Amino acid sequence: MQLRRIHILFLQGRNKVLNFSYDDGRKEDRRLVSIFRKHGLKATFNLNSGETDTDERRIPPATIEWE
DSSP 10-29: -GGG-S-----EEES-BTTH
Confidence at residue 8, expressed as pLDDT on a 0 to 100 scale: 79
Contact 46, 64 (CB under 8 A): no
Predicted local distance difference test score (pLDDT) of residue 38: 94
- From first to last of the 67 residues of the chain, give the pLDDT tens digit: 788 888 778 888 888 878 777 776 777 788 888 898 899 888 887 776 666 666 677 766 667 676 6
